[in-house]
Structure 1
Amino acid sequence: MAVQSWFDVLKSSKKTALIHDGKRKIHYLFTDGKEMSEEYDLKTDELLVRKWRQKGTFGVAGQWELEVGEPLGNPVASLDSDVIKENCSNPVFMRKDTKTSFQWRIRNLCFPKDVFSVSVEPSERCVVIKTSNKKYYKKFSIPDLDRSQLPLDGAALSFTHANNTLIVSYKKPSEVLAVEEELLGEVKKLKGTTGGDGDCKTQ
């Protein structure tokens, strides 16, 4: 699916909007039955949450799967790393984008920055985080690039480490920025209801 066709899929989906608690919440229903839910900060237009849900075998809605945003609680079960040190809890992996970059934060990584190595694996279409002490390893994809069939570029990748948190950034390609800007324009046109109850208005 190319960049434009992904935008066409978003544009043709059934969308509902809700303005609540300083956030613009958008629900997308696609023709294949998949659902996507996004939350934007009303003041900054920053994407706070994106999650997906699809129907199971018997048409029953499955669990929401978080793509962007902070997990609720401490999702220890989903982590692929052992406890690093006695005084450290398990690493917590989450994605929190900025306007110009995809960004991931991994908390509770109590190592100096020079221990970390972050690179792209173009053949596997993923980003790989490794440590020279072999205490942490993580491989993850960038769904936004997959949906738009854009290649991974190692030059777009950077990372920093502070307060036991590794922050990995990937500069958004111009094609993605253009789609995000168009999509934001679309969702702002939706006449969303305000408040927590009642039905959302549908486009």
Structure 2
Amino acid sequence: MAAQSWLERLRGAKKTAVVQDDGSEMVEEHEVSNDQLMVRKWRQKSQLGSRGPWQVEVGETFPGAVGSLEQQLIQESSSNPIFTRKDTKTSFQWRIRNLPYPKNVYSATIDPDQRCCIVRTSNKKYYKKFNIPDMDRCSLPLDSSALSFTHANNTLIITYKKPTEILQLEQEVLQELKKVKVAEDGDVDCKTQ
């Protein structure tokens, strides 16, 4: 009975797929009510042709399934810093949770040669280097004046204001997504093997 209910829910879900010739896969999840990007993740085929693990670019990564053997044997400390990206309409934004130091200890800078952002503390307790894949894909230079940060509730929030070129590109992508036909109930033919 429960399997039938799940199958009905699956058939009623909205689905889309695009397959690329190079074997790479990208999945994006958007909030329907405001077109906000919630998750973007990529995976590539390995040299032997198997599918590699998902690499999350935007959104949160979640540890293995509850009760999995890997989780029972070894587990990260819950007090370790947690680095995630969650964009807004006008900026790229990263959150680093579990950083208890005062705001004046942190610095956020741009390294134009390595095309990355660097977050560090003056007390040498935290250091993180990360790039902005969207800027790399568009071959846009990084601008130090677009980078800022704030700290509250043990969370460091780093913000990089999106340049006009990225905002225009995102609008074009949203227009393309709105053209995609959404599968309605009964449009999908599921045949058992």
Give TM class, smaller chain.
Answer: 0.7 to 0.9
Deviation at 1:73, TM superposition (A): 3.0
Stretches of structure 1 that go unaligned for 5 or more consecutive residues are 1-17, 75-81
- Quote the Cα distance in structure 1 between the aligned partners of 2:184 and 2:23: 26
Residue in 2 aligned with 1:184? 174
Q: Pick from 81, 90, 97 the counterpart of residue 107 of structure 1.
A: 97
Q: CA deviation at 1:41?
A: 0.1
CA contact (8 A) 1:25 1:40 kept: no
Partner residue of 1:144? Answer: 134
Q: Report matched runs for 1:40-189 at 5 Å.
A: 40-73=30-63, 89-189=79-179
2:71 matched residue in structure 1: none
TM-score normalised by L of structure 2? 0.80
Distance 1:28 1:140, change over 3 A: farther
User: Is the partner of 1:127 in helix, strand or coil?
Assistant: strand
How many residues in Structure 1 have an aligned counterpart in Structure 2? Answer: 169
Q: 1:99 to 1:56 in 2, by over 3 A?
A: same
SS of the equivalent of 1:29 reads coil
Mark the CA change 1:102 to 1:28 in structure 2 (over 3 Å): closer, same or farther: farther
Assess if the C-alpha contact under 8 Å between 1:96 and 1:104 holds in 2.
yes
Aligned-pair distance for 1:28?
3.9
Cα 1:25–1:143 change in 2 (3 A) is: farther
Look up the SS of the partner of 1:118 in the other structure. strand
* 1:162 to 1:54, Cα distance in 2 relative to 1, 3 A: same
Return the alpha-carbon distance in structure 2 between the equivalents of residues 172 and 143 of structure 1: 12
Could you list the per-position Cα deviations for residues 61-85 of structure 1 after superposition, in whole angstroms to 9, with x for gaps in the alignment? 11111000011139xxxxxxx98xx
Task: With a CA cutoff of 8 Å and minimum separation of 6, indicate the structure with the bigger relative contact order.
Answer: 1
Structure 1 position 26, deviation (Å): 5.4
Larger radius of gyration: 2
The aligned amino acid for 1:165 is T
Q: Is contact 2:15–2:183 with CA below 8 Å preserved after alignment?
A: no
Root-mean-square deviation over aligned CA pairs: 2.6
Q: Distance in 2 between matches of 1:125 and 1:34?
A: 23
1:27 deviation in Å? 4.2
Give the counterpart letter for 1:55 in structure 2: K
Structure 2 letter corresponding to 1:32: D
Cα deviation per residue 1:22-48 (whole Å; 9 max; x = unaligned)?
xx7754433322111000000010000
User: Which is richer in strand?
Assistant: 1
Cα 1:104–1:143 change in 2 (3 A) is same
